[in-house]
Structure formats: structure tokens, C-alpha cells
Amino acid sequence: MAELKQLFKTKDLKTTQLDNFAINKQKTIYLNYDGSVDELIMLFVNPESKSIVHYIDSHVAILYEPKTMEVIGIQVEAFQKSFITKYAALQKVWRLRDCCDDLTFNNFGDIAIAFERQKPAVAREVVKITEDLLHPQRRKLIPVLV
């Protein structure tokens, strides 16, 4: 099979939207895990926004807006099967029994509260891991999530 040719370099993606996200201190993160395909999608914009997937390794992709080439999220495939197994810190924030021992899960509301509280921690760990894959001048995701 022929090798795929990249249409552009990762460093060509823009991060203005992320800069604005950081300046406004908006911390809304849309996090979706689909167990049927073992995929985690993390977005910093409304999930209905159009995006294009730009793979930066075999599991991780940067999601960007087609017209502006602005980075708007991260997608991780084989998340539980192979990605998360390599990173202890990510495993710890991902598993509710490890991160939420102060909560008693009596109903769905308790789980929803734990999920909302853990979203930023999961996002930070995913970004820390994927940060090295980005072009050094584009490493702006960590300050946005801290």
C-alpha cells in the first residue's frame, strides 16, 4: 500500500481560538467517550461545529475547523484498549473508583456530578500526553486547561 501524503504540516494549524478560550477563562469542555468504537473526543467548541480530523500519530488526531484551520479539539482512538494503558496518571483520573472516593454513588445524579468534576482532569492528562506530538510552537493547550 502506498504511503499517504500529508496535505499540510501540523504546524500550519492555527490556535487563535484556543488563545481566546484561555483569555476568556472559559473552561467548557465537551468530552465524549464512545465505548462501541473505543474513541474519546474532546472539544473546546460546540460539538455541532464542523471539524476535520488531522492524525498526528496512530491513535491521536487534532480536530480543526475546515475554513479557518483553527484547532478545536483532540480525538483518541483505541482509547481504553491501548492508549490509556500506557499512562498511569490518565488511568487514575479516568477510573471513578480512583478519582472520586469521596463520593457515594447512590444514583445517576452522583455519577453525573463525578463526571463533570473529572472532565477537566481527564482533559489535562490527554493534552499533556498529546502535547509532545504537536509542533513546539503550537503547544498552547496545556495553559488553556490549567
Contact 52, 105 (CB under 8 A): no
**Over 60: is that where the pLDDT of 77 sits?**
yes
Q: Which residues of 18-48 are buried (b: 16+ CB within 10 A; e: fewer)?
A: beebbeeeeeebbbeeeeeebbbbbbbbeee
CA separation for the pair 60, 74 (Å, rounded): 7
The more confidently predicted of residues 90 and 13 is 90
Nearest to 82 by CA among 59, 56, 63: 59
pLDDT digits (tens, 9 = 90+) for 22-36: 565 556 788 899 999
> What pTM does this model have?
0.76
